[in-house]
Amino acid sequence: MSIFADKNTKVLIQGITGTQASFHVRRSIDYGTNVVAGVTPGKGSSIHLGIPVFNTVREAVLATGANASVVFVPAKAFKGAVIEAIEADLDLCVCITDGVPILDMMEIRHLAEKHKTKIIGPNTPGLITPNEARLGIFPENIHQKGRIGIVSRSSTLTYEAVLETNRAQLGQSTVIGLGDDVIIGIDFIPAIEAFIKDDDTDAIVLIGQMGGGFEEEAAYYYETLDAKKPIIAFVAGSTTPSAQKIGYAGDIVAGGKRSIQYKKEILKNSGMIVVDEINQIHDELLKLYPPHV
């Protein structure tokens, strides 16, 4: 199994005719992703990459039964595109776009709370279920089908976490990049909840970062659960000198008030396994699931 997207998910691409979208969508199709439609206003009734293109999301949904979208549109068109996806009642909307204004995301979050659509991103590499579905820009060649769920707030370190699960020969069930922005769609909690319910996910790797309160909220949620699966957590930024200014948006907004150590302590107190170095994820996985001799 997997969470949020698998080989049966019918995917539409918003902004499919753009250069970056074309490059990544072709790779996703080659990977086996069930891409059924594209949406580019003004280019309806055309074909791109062998995929029918529609003027609106609703038209695409009615014609193809699409239930998830990947958004590749520029930041200035982002709000309208995501609102279209929400109002079309898609199950999932994965937002690759970066540079999205905070006020636009606040409006989108408010609207999404009234609908069923799960928003992932923006500014995310997306979601991948190995050998089944690639919604975004993940380097598909590094992923291996397996039983470890990964959910991350750090796009680059998501790839490192994937490699650590591969080293442990456990692979991944689904990998999710939540996005690096201050305001994002879903946070850690819906992903943890879904992974715990997934019979084919044995454990979870959680990657946090400086700034924001996402890790604390995840810790409080995990602590309240009766039925748990192991979570191995790593928080990026512990090697950054305290006086050094960095570019994590959440840390800028929080003014550096939430230290890495503070986050690590809260995660550990919730019952998660907290590691100091990302390569220790491999070690902890082997402790949980020793290789058969």
The answer to pTM > 0.85 is yes
Indicate the pLDDT class of residue 293, thresholds 50, 70 and 90.
low
pLDDT tens by residue, 108-120: 999 999 999 999 9
pLDDT score of 211 more than 90: no
> Token pair 């970062």 is at which residue?
209
On average, the pLDDT of the chain sits at 93
Residue 256: predicted pLDDT? 47
Domains of the chain: 1-124 (3.40.50.720), 144-293 (3.40.50.261)
Indicate the pLDDT class of residue 219, thresholds 50, 70 and 90.
very high
pLDDT score of 242 more than 70: no
pLDDT tens by residue, 147-183: 999 999 999 999 999 999 999 999 999 999 999 999 9
Q: Are 20 and 122 in contact (CB under 8 A)?
A: no
